[in-house]
Amino acid sequence: MSRDYAALPPNQVRRSDRAVTDEAWIAEMLTHAPIGTLATVHEGQPFINSNLFVYDAQNQAIYTHTAQVGRTRANVEGDAKVCFSVSDMGRLLPADEALEFSVEYSGVVVFGRATLIEGEQAERALQMLLDKYFPHLQSGRDYRPITLDELKRTSVFQISIDSWSGKRKQVEDEFPGAFFYGQHGERLVGTSQSDFRGALPLGGGGNSPPAGRGGGGGGGGGGLWTPLSACVTFGRRTLLVFPEFL
């Protein structure tokens, strides 16, 4: 008899072999993910939006913001229940059979309730957002601090986390033919998913994975990674690797 998946807890992962129950891992991913997706609903119609966000481990909450008025605020004021997700794509995994093609991934799904916050709470949340995305800049030194007028022009939301789940698929570094999206199947010598964490793309054209992911643009030859390299070049794309990652 098949299971009634709709009756299961929302944070229960179907593939138990890929479920991540380590809450420290989940919190770490929420801390460092650059962007998340927020799902709201209005009269049965789902809406989803990409948002910058910050995770507050102390209060077990997520903060995000929008314009003063808009769909997200209207939906949250009508129904506070929301879902929030972050994800990371690893290498594409080719196979001998179409059914077996796959991809490495990791992701977190959060279930909770969103509320509009104001005053000092909102100011703290917005400052946490600034500190996450611009950690090298300091309020009052490098830019004028948040003002009361600016707070009034912004909707700041606190997502109180009720439950969450993590999921991950990761294979061995030497998986045959594995490559990052955008490489168009180019062979990289000695690369793995962890080799390019901390790498930044420099100049050039073509498609390339974001910072923290190895990969290359179209055209040109493959790339060669060695522990002594300061730069790795794929076609017209160059990655600068910080010394601490060499």
Write the CA distances from 105 to 39, 65, 91, 168, 193, integer angstroms.
Answer: 20, 27, 8, 6, 10
Range in 3-7, 160-164, 199-203 the model is least confident about: 199-203
3 CB-near residues (< 8 Å, 6+ apart): none
pLDDT of 195? 47
Q: How far apart are the first and last CA of the chain?
A: 53
pLDDT of 232? 42
Q: Do β-strands 45-51 and 81-93 pair in parallel, antiparallel, or remain unpaired?
A: unpaired
Write the CA distances from 159 to 19, 55, 153, 203, 231, integer angstroms.
Answer: 23, 9, 20, 38, 40
Residue 14's pLDDT band (boundaries 50, 70, 90)? confident
Cα separation, 91 vs 186, in Å, equals 12
Q: Which two tokens stand for residue 187?
A: 């062979």
Residue 238 has pLDDT above 70, yes or no: no
Cα separation, 235 vs 227, in Å, equals 20
Residue 228's nearest CA partner among 242, 213, 246 is 246
Residues in the chain: 246
Cα separation, 137 vs 76, in Å, equals 32
Residue 129's pLDDT band (boundaries 50, 70, 90)? very high
Say what the pTM is. Answer: 0.73
Mean pLDDT, to the nearest integer, of 23-39? Answer: 97
Mean pLDDT, to the nearest integer, of 38-60? Answer: 96
The residue type at 232? V
